[in-house]
Each structure stands twice: as C-alpha cells, then as structure tokens.
Amino acid sequence: MAGAVIPRDKLPEDSSDWSEVAVSFPRLPEDRAQSCPCSIDEIFAYVKTESGDRDQANLNRLTFVRTAQVGDARYWLWSYKESDGEAKFVTCRVASDGSIELALASANGLNAEQFLLAEYYDEVYWA
C-alpha cells in the first residue's frame, strides 16, 4: 500500500528513540516545492512567526526537502536552519479531508522520513 506506515504499537514508546527506525515513504507525483498548496511566501511567513529567529529569519536558510505520501496524508517537507544553527523541519500536511496544516519543529536527531512518521502520529516535540 502506498504510504503505508509502521503501526504505532510497533514503534518505540518515545519518538525521540526513532532515530534507528528504518522507514521509507513514496514521493508524490509532483515532487517539488511548487506543487505545495501553500506558497513559499506562506511557508516562510509561518517560519518567521513560529521559529526562534523571528526578526532574524532568512529565506536562504529554508530548503525544500521532499514530498511524501504517509498513510492517507500528503506532505511537503522543508528544512530550516535557525540563526543559532538548530535544525528544524517545516511541514505542510494535507489530510484526507482536504484540510491543510503547517507545522515547524526541531528535527531532534531524526532524518526526514523518521520525522514525517513522528509528525503523522502527532509525536513531534514542538520546540
């Protein structure tokens, strides 16, 4: 099944322990930032509002990573490096009902796919 996810009960209890979990998700047919329902201006405005940078936010530190089909949700994923060097991920999630949600959180040592899995299960530590 495309976008199949590891059942939550088969994963470590604490998502911060997921750095050893091998996971892979298929990319969306249009695997590019321009296919996202949110514009880059909307994404960056969200980063400026939610990151610790606020006034020091810089669009040059925002990089598109990939798209993914995770279960019944579609994702667009960016990385953002704050001015202090902390790595963050920014997601645009489109749920099966068509609702759109932006989120920004610390990578916490997870790679992109592990982070998407944690975000899918709402197990991301929003910091």
Give the chain's domain count.
1
Task: Write out the residue range of the structural domain in which residue 104 sits.
Answer: 32-120
Tell me, yes or no, whether 3 lies in a domain: no
Tell me, yes or no, whether 22 lies in a domain: no
Q: What is the pLDDT of residue 125?
A: 65
Tell me, yes or no, whether 90 lies in a domain: yes
Q: What is the pLDDT along the chain (127 residues), one digit of tens a residue?
A: 456 789 999 998 887 788 889 999 999 999 999 999 999 999 999 999 998 887 888 999 999 999 999 999 999 999 999 999 999 999 999 999 999 999 999 988 899 999 999 999 988 865 4
Q: What is the pLDDT of residue 70?
A: 96
Tell me, yes or no, whether 106 lies in a domain: yes
Q: What is the pLDDT of residue 1?
A: 41
Tell me, yes or no, whether 8 lies in a domain: no
Q: What is the pLDDT of residue 127?
A: 42
The pTM score is 0.91
Residue with tokens 């099966």, as numbered in its chain: 96
Tell me, yes or no, whether 86 lies in a domain: yes
- Long-range contacts of residues 92-98, Cβ cutoff 8 Å, at least 24 apart: 92/36, 92/37, 92/38, 92/43, 93/119, 94/37, 96/72
Tell me, yes or no, whether 127 lies in a domain: no
